[in-house]
Structure 1
């Protein structure tokens, strides 16, 4: 597992810390002709070897570096097919992690994967999934009648409220799991401070009540998920 973590660290450093924007732009423009594409892969190989610090693992590092090159080339040529550029980015990163995982555990890949799933905390996974999109949909149904009475704010970012809600519920769930209930109060206070000036300027009672109800429902769903998760230990 330590080898896997070291290789992931090398990947993070090579892809995000030591890759200038200039390289990214040049690769996107020149594709396989870009010198920075190969320099980027060479940098990854060097980072793999430095962090592994074991010459006996050079073949693994080489295979991962070559695989990295193939994945990057695939992304460069398929990227224009996606309107949402975050999709190829996450697919690309997922493939890199999968490649490292396969190369590290290739000796017992099936056994290691089965063990990984067996040891996974499925209660926590279910709670995490619940507080994201399912909770957002539930909130949408609960507040649907009220939302029709609120004027749409065209200055807001698209779906900003939905994603803010998901993030805050994830935070609440995390704080419950680690037993830091007091931080949830600070989170509510912080959100209230940020909302105060906005609501004060609009002087809209309906909007204030709508946001308050939405906040309470959001936190309530996250707390419910957290309590149900923790109940398995009692």
Structure 2
């Protein structure tokens, strides 16, 4: 595990802290002919060696550097195929993590992977999944009749409300699991402050009631999930 953490640290340093925006732009424009692509990979190799601090493990550093080059190059050529540039970015990061994982646990890759799944806290996974999209859909069904009565004359980001709800429920679930119920009150207060101007400008009692009911339902679903998890996993 310590080896994985060290290599992951090197990856984060190389990909996010030691890669100027200028390099990223040059790589996207010139792809495989960009000198910064190879300099970026070289920095990763040096970081791997420095953090490992063991010349006998140069092979791991070399394999990871080569895999980094292949993955980054594939991303540069695949980028134009995606409208949402976040998709290739996250695929790229997942592949880098997989490469590090394989290099660290190659001697018992299957056994270690199966052990991870066996020891996974499945009730926690269930709780996390429940408070994301399933809860959003449940809320949509519960509030469908009310939402039809609300006139929204202001523009907002696509699905912003959905994502805000998911994030707030994840926070509530986390606070319950770690036993910090008071933090939920702070979260409600913070949301109320941010919503105050919208409600003040709209001057609509229906909108105020709709937002209040939606907030309580959202928090309620997360609280139920958290209580059930804590109850069955004391």
Aligned residue number for residue 149 of structure 1: 149
Aligned to 2:128: 128
Deviation at 1:154, TM superposition (A): 4.2
Q: Which runs of 5+ in 2 are unaligned?
A: none
Q: Equivalents in 2 of 1:154, 1:11: separation in Å? A: 43
Quote the Cα distance in structure 2 between the aligned partners of 1:167 and 1:76: 31
- Give the corresponding residue for 2:85: 85
Q: Which residue of 2 aligns with 1:169?
A: 169
Could you state the TM-score of these two structures normalised by the residue count of structure 2?
0.98
Instruction: Give the whole-Å Cα distance in 2 for the aligned partners of 1:47 and 1:138.
Output: 47
Equivalence for 1:138? 138
Whole-angstrom CA distance in 2 between matches of 1:98 and 1:148: 46
Alignment of 1:20-31 (within 5 A): 20-31=20-31
Deviations 1:37-63 (Å, cap 9, x if unpaired)? 000000111111111111111100100
In 2, distance between residues paired with 1:13 and 1:126?
A: 33
Size of the aligned set, in residue pairs, is 234
How far residue 152 of structure 1 moved from its aligned partner, in angstroms, is 2.8
Q: Secondary structure in 2 aligned to 1:150? A: coil
State the 1:148 CA deviation.
Answer: 1.0
CA offset at residue 111 of structure 1?
A: 0.4
Name the structure 2 match of 1:3: 3
Tell me, in whole angstroms, the C-alpha distance in 1 between the residues paired with 2:162 and 2:184: 19
Corresponding residue of 2:46: 46
Q: What is the alpha-carbon distance in structure 2 between the residues aligned to residue 155 and residue 47 of structure 1?
A: 46
Distance 1:152 1:91 in 2: 36
Aligned residue number for residue 222 of structure 1: 222
- CA distance in 2: counterparts of 1:94 and 1:100, whole angstroms: 10
Q: Is 1:194 matched up with 2:194?
A: yes
Report what 2:59 is aligned to: 59
| Cα shift at 1:188 | 0.5
Give the match's secondary structure for 2:68.
Answer: helix
Counterparts of 2:233 and 2:128, CA distance in 1 = 17
Q: 5+ residue gaps in structure 1?
A: none
The equivalent of 1:69 in structure 2 is: 69
- Secondary structure of the corresponding residue to residue 105 of structure 1: helix
Counterpart of 1:233 in structure 2 is: 233
Structure 2: how far apart are the matches of 1:165 and 1:46? 42
Q: RMSD of the TM alignment (CA)?
A: 0.9
- CA deviation string 1:131-162 (max 9, x = no partner): 11111111111111111111234421111111
Instruction: Provide TM-score, normalisation by structure 1.
Output: 0.98
Deviations 1:150-188 (A, max 9, x none): 123442111111111010000000000000001001111
